[in-house]
Chain A
Amino acid sequence: MMKFRKTLWLLAASATMALPQMADAARPWMLPSETMFAGSGNEWVTVDAAISSDLYYFDHPGQDWQPIATAPDGSAAQVENRAIGKLRQTFDLGIKTKGTYKIAIVNEMLMGSYMLNGERKMLPRGTTAATLATAVPQGATDVQTATARTRIETFVTAGEPDRKVFTTTGKGLEMVPVTHPNDLAVGEAATFQFLLNGKPAAGLDVVAIPGGIRYRSDLKQMDAKTDAEGKVSFTWPEAGMYWVSISSGGRRGPGGEGPGAGGPGGAPGAGRPQGQPQGEGAPRPPMGPPQDRATYAMTVEVQG
């Protein structure tokens, strides 16, 4: 970790730098072609991955995300036919054994800045811990960094759902199922636990939004807040694919975790222009050093 020093710091600018593609209510997601398989050994799921305003339509540039698939026994599974299009990424995964598969996209970036010749310069977009040394030029001082972690997941099950794939890494925001994400049904409550860096993510806002926003006027967003154990429950009003998202940190400076669910949709940077006063009464606190940020989003299917 770099040494932090108090300085005036355009935090919002750093947020914009870190996740520029998530501005204006865009939501990151993966959508599996189906979530339930018989487990006959020769089945395929096709997954679309995109950032978009509507769920689940493609209206933003496709992302060069590297998907990681985990087979029911916990081993890595190979994704095939990966292609990055103008508006989405798509890939296939063979469903060869019974049990639950996890498909994840995990991004970790460094955001921050350094002083060079009396000027504060931003770290270039896409800087990671591995590239930090080359991103910061010789002679730079007062380097400030924070980590931005994004995790996007979805799950599919052949036969009966099982739980081997739900191991956590202790980094960023992660979901631990109380209710299995491939065992959700209309009218039933489902509980998920969220961890932030391996510890219960308490007091964070979580949103759930059913897909198909484009063809209805009501967003149908459900809001909840994690309890002391990081747990949250939703009772599904109708069948379909749902986008569930939670985020933490980074947007308001010290002491202001802010609603992770910023505007409608709750995606990072959702709802309001970055860097504008947020008009919630209290004056903006002085900017501190950049804050670590974490975002989690998953797509789950609710059976009707």
Chain B
Amino acid sequence: MQISHKIVLTGAAMGASALAMPAAAQTLDVTLTLPRLSVAEYHRPYVAIWLEKEGAPARTLSVLYDVDKRNNAGVKWLRDIRMWWRASGRSLTLPADGISGATRAPGTHKLSFTAGKGGMPALAPGKYTLVVEAARESGGREAVRVPLNVTAAGARGSASGQFELGAVSAVLSR
């Protein structure tokens, strides 16, 4: 009795998720490098990752900032990610589930976004730009733009920053 009950529940849950996310759920893997900087005063950068498509509002995929500060005080400096702030940030209420995250240490990081979860939309074929912008307290600011030509097969692109960001690559698969 107990067992069959569980099976029914699981089946229902699977059915619901299948409806929300069709079998061809897109996944966007973003790999970005935060360079190790030899500076007297180093703070981990605030980083925003968002998608642009001409004629559509920018979609924030992730924003990495000081999420653990008391009273949500970390949001105060989000506007220093200036391009992102104007494109998308200032219209968001943060922290936001599936979007806000903690700052990352220098090194290479992989972030995955699934269509329909967090800020990641399902991408119809077309030309998109993935933008990664980093702003560092007492440091510089840089945005890297990765063009993504999305087809039925997916998309792939890369670019590199010079100061506050290293290599950035993105792979969209389904």
**Interface of A with B (CB < 8 Å)?**
36-40, 43, 157, 159-160, 183, 185, 303-304
- 18 new A-B pairs (CB below 8 Å) besides A36-B90, A38-B75? A36-B79, A36-B82, A38-B76, A38-B78, A38-B79, A39-B90, A40-B71, A40-B73, A40-B75, A40-B76, A159-B90, A159-B91, A160-B90, A160-B91, A183-B86, A185-B86, A303-B86, A304-B82
Residue in chain B with minimal CB distance to A304: B82
Q: A159-B90, A160-B90, A160-B91 in contact; A36/B75 too (CB < 8 A)?
A: no
Task: Contacts A159-B91, A160-B90 given; indicate if A303 touches B76 (C-beta within 8 A).
Answer: no
A36 x B85 contact (CB < 8 A): yes
Instruction: Give the Cβ gap from B63 to chain A, nearest Cβ, in Å.
Output: 12
- Across chains A and B, the number of contacting residue pairs, with CB separation under 8 Å, is 28
Q: How many residues of B are counted as interface, with CB atoms below 8 angstroms from the partner's CB atoms?
A: 14
B72 at interface (Cβ–Cβ under 8 A)?
yes
CB within 8 Å of A: which of B71-95?
Answer: 71-73, 75-79, 82-83, 85-86, 90-91
**Chain A CB within 10 Å — which of B73, B75, B78, B90 has the most?**
B90
Contacts of B82 in A (CB 8 A): 36, 303-304
User: In the complex, A300→B85 CA distance in Å?
Assistant: 17
Residues of A within 8 A of B72 (CB): 40
Complex alpha-carbon distance, A303 and B80, angstroms: 11
A37 and B85 CA atoms in complex are apart in Å by 10
Q: Please determine whether B76 and A43 come into contact, CB atoms closer than 8 angstroms.
A: yes
Please report the C-alpha to C-alpha distance between residue A40 and residue B90 in the assembled complex, in whole angstroms.
Answer: 11
Complex Cα distance, B75 from A256, in Å, reads 53
16 A-B residue pairings within 8 Å (CB atoms): A36-B79, A36-B82, A36-B85, A36-B90, A38-B77, A38-B78, A38-B79, A39-B90, A40-B71, A40-B72, A157-B90, A159-B90, A160-B91, A303-B82, A303-B86, A304-B82
Instruction: Give Cα A185–Cα B82 distance, bound, in whole angstroms.
Output: 10
When distances are taken between beta carbons in the complex, the residues of chain B under 8 Å from A157 are 90
- Chain B residues with CB under 8 A of A43: 76
Chain A residues with CB below 8 A from B75, complex form: 38, 40
Q: Which has the most chain B C-beta neighbours within 10 Å: A36, A157, A160, A303?
A: A36
Q: Closest A-chain residue to B79, C-beta based? A: A36
Chain B residues, CB < 8 A from A304: 82
Q: Could you say which residues of chain B place their CB within 8 Å of the CB of A36?
A: 79, 82, 85, 90
Closest approach, in angstroms, between the C-beta of A277 and any C-beta of chain B? 49
Q: Which 5 residue pairs of A and B lie closest in terms of their CB atoms, listed nearest first?
A: A36-B79, A38-B75, A38-B76, A160-B90, A159-B90
